[in-house]
Amino acid sequence: MTDRSDRSIRNQWGRISAHLLGGVPLILLGWQLVQGRLGFNPVESVLRWTGRLALGLLLLSLSVTPIRKIFKISAISAMRKPLGLYAALYAFLHFSVFALWDYQLNIRQIYLEISNKPFILLGMIALLILLVLAATSFRFWQRKLGRKWVWLHRSVYAAALLVILHYLLAVKGDLFSLQGAYAPPLIAAGILVLLLILRIPAIQQCLRPTFTQQEPDQPASD
């Protein structure tokens, strides 16, 4: 098999895996909703799950490049864009549940809710960034914007940071005495810090030999 068709099959597997990761939870959530299995407050359940899935997929899409570089698994490159697009889709669904389902687009009520819970504003800014990144994720914009595209798409880290703050502030409890369900947003914050550290070229170079060492009689993977 030629190198090219080999690479295109690996890319296809990468894309299929990303669609499974992004699509299956949506189908399961829809199914649970239709079956009435989301408890006595389905709006809150859907709001929570779409938010968590959006954040999870966002962090997964950010993990693709470090994993590819450190473990030299080029096949997963194809996962980054669909995972990012799914994250934006879930974030948009999350917003729609809030604005359309919970508040029936009652602008006055939404404004009052934002005044009481400023963490919603952080989510709105993050959503705006994710939607701009999703809209410009196509090759046309990549070619049109050139170097600026790379800088624009780095703002995904700012979006992830805003989402984690949004999550931390949405938790009911006290962060300083850790009373409340703070573990998930703190784990997400730890993952984001790790991903930022793994972007440092010197760290990548240090880790590469450790993880890409071949078994004596195995062929090189990439």
Q: Which residues in this chain contact ligand HEM in the complex, by CB under 6 A?
A: 44, 47-48, 51-52, 54-55, 58, 91, 94-95, 98, 120, 123-124, 126-127, 130, 163, 166-167, 170
User: Residue 63's closest CA among 167, 169, 198?
Assistant: 198
Burial 197-211 (b: 16+ CB within 10 A, else e): ebeeeeeeeeeeeee
Least gap, CB of 27 to ligand HEM (angstroms)? 20
With H, G, I as helix, E, B as strand and everything else as coil, classify residue 168: helix
Give, to the nearest 10 degrees, the angle between helix 3-34 and helix 42-71: 160
DSSP assignments along 14-59, one per residue: HHHHHHHHHHHHHHHHHHHHHTT-S-S-HHHHHHHHHHHHHHHHHH
**Tokens linked to 39:** 């408890």
Residue number with CB closer to ligand HEM (7 or 48) = 48
Residue number with CB closer to ligand HEM (181 or 203) = 181
Least gap, CB of 119 to ligand HEM (angstroms)? 7
Least gap, CB of 36 to ligand HEM (angstroms)? 19
Residue number with CB closer to ligand HEM (139 or 172) = 172
Least gap, CB of 49 to ligand HEM (angstroms)? 8
Least gap, CB of 108 to ligand HEM (angstroms)? 15
Residue number with CB closer to ligand HEM (178 or 206) = 178
Least gap, CB of 5 to ligand HEM (angstroms)? 36
Residue number with CB closer to ligand HEM (54 or 134) = 54
d(CA 213, CA 216): 9
Intra-chain end-to-end CA distance of the chain, in Å = 15
Residue number with CB closer to ligand HEM (11 or 136) = 136
